[in-house]
Copies of this chain bind each other. A is one copy, B any other.
Amino acid sequence: MPGNRCVVYVEPGKVSVETIDYPKLELPEQNRKCDHGVILKIVATNDVEFIKMGDLVSVPFNIACGRCRMCKAGNTGVCLNVNPARPGAAYGYVDMGGWVGGQAEYVMVPYADWNLLKFPDKDQAMEKIKDLTMLSDIFPTGYHGAFTAGVTTGSTVYVAGGGPVGLACAAAAQLLGAAVVIVGDMNRERLAQARSFGCETIDLTQSGELPDMIAQIVGEPVVDAAVDCVGFEARGHGAGAGEAPATVLNDVMGITQVAGRVGIPGLYVTGDPGGIDENAKIGQLGVRIGLGWAKSLSFTTGQCPVMRYHRQLMNAILHDKVQIAKAVNATVITLEEAPQGYVDFDKGAAKKFVFNPHGMITV
């Protein structure tokens, strides 16, 4: 299978694997030279990659220039120089600057010295490659959610959503020293996965009020910190509930302790053509801001700036302080299996699929 095989989006719910050009040190869409870039051969995606002479590196999903005021302040998720349309870019997204995607055999990474995290020892890294591959996106993203929610030693924490980001967030909360981590979801398989590494769980398909369910676990109807790992694709509670885009955020406000912080790594969008009403279509949702205000809550939103966290999380992985691949049930597949993987994921499989384009992962 010659050429650069790559996962390509076809239509909602469907991807295929196609052969695209090998990457070059340029970005035609922006008519831009990238002499500062590097071409990487992808070991695993979620993007753990080689750089010259066999160095093994991690690539953040955010693309950042390392020269603008946002990058200098550590806000690499909203770099000002990589996307003419608006701050921030990522590989393989529509409306994100035209950077060709990470789910391929080869990828061009610009500003390579800035963006890449080199693993200190290649052999050691290959032994933990399933964990390390999580450094490109979901582990830092989950950690960002927990960290910005103020999770620290002894915290009680509620994580809304048991998908890969939610599970990564729960593992991160444990790593941050939380006393109790509760994961809420409507998918029993995901809840079982959360329990497998020591989380408490709440099955949101059951009747009852969330504060009461929280109280049964921690003795009071509130937690110290809460994280919305679901975002706008939330559904209402209870069997048969339909789409209710702000329901998770509103729930989370209801069970956060006064003066608490809410982390919101779950995606909210500025435009959702399939939104339930005119407001939802422009990303304007019915938020119980009055409730949040009465409780003096704080909120942190947005894409995780991966570079802010990936080095320290790498160290935690390399020294066995966290089993992130196990927590999110990382499952290695070939690029060719990607279309089926997407289908399974959409059905709610409690798995995080990791691509293995060159067959280098043997675990």
A87 close to B (CB within 8 Å): yes
Contact, CB under 8 Å: A268 / B296: no
* A295 contact set on B, CB distance < 8 A: 78, 87, 301-302
Chain B residues whose C-beta falls within 8 Å of the C-beta of A148 in the assembled complex:
298
Interface digits, A170-182 against B, CB 8 Å rule (1 contact, 0 not)? Answer: 0000011111100
Establish whether residues A296 and B303, one from each chain, have CB atoms under 8 Å apart when the complex forms: yes
Chain B residues with Cβ below 8 Å from A72 are: 74, 114, 307
Using A75-B296, A283-B288, A299-B299 as known contacts, say yes or no to A154 and B314 having CB atoms under 8 A apart.
yes
Known contacts A88-B258, A298-B301, A321-B179: does B312 contact A152 (CB below 8 Å)? yes
A300 contacts B298, C-beta separation under 8 Å: yes
Produce 1/0 per residue, A299-336, CB < 8 A to B. 11111000101011111101101000000000000000
Residues A316 and B177 in contact, CB atoms below 8 Å apart: yes
Residues in chain B near residue A20, CB distance under 8 A: none
B156–A315 contact, CB under 8 A?
yes
Interface-side segment among A62-70, A189-197, A337-345: A62-70
Residues of B within 8 A of A73 (CB): 74, 259
CB-based contact A270/B283 at 8 Å: no
**Would you call A208 an interface residue if the criterion is a C-beta within 8 Å of the partner chain's C-beta atoms?**
no
* A246 beta carbon closer than 8 Å to chain B: yes
Q: Taking the complex as formed, is A284 at the interface, i.e. its CB lies under 8 A from any CB of chain B?
A: yes
In the complex, whether A38 has a CB less than 8 A from a CB of chain B is no
Interface string of A145-183 (1 = CB under 8 A from B): 000100011111000000000000000000111111000
Selected A-B contacts with CB under 8 Å, 28 pairs: A66-B67, A67-B113, A69-B311, A70-B259, A75-B296, A88-B258, A153-B176, A153-B312, A153-B316, A154-B314, A154-B319, A155-B312, A175-B177, A177-B177, A177-B316, A179-B316, A179-B319, A232-B290, A268-B290, A270-B288, A279-B286, A282-B288, A283-B293, A284-B287, A289-B301, A293-B302, A295-B301, A298-B300
Binding site for B on A (CB under 8 A): 66-67, 69-70, 72-75, 77-78, 80, 86-88, 113-114, 120, 143, 148, 152-156, 175-180, 219, 231-232, 246, 249-250, 258-259, 264, 267-272, 279, 282-303, 307, 309, 311-316, 318-319, 321
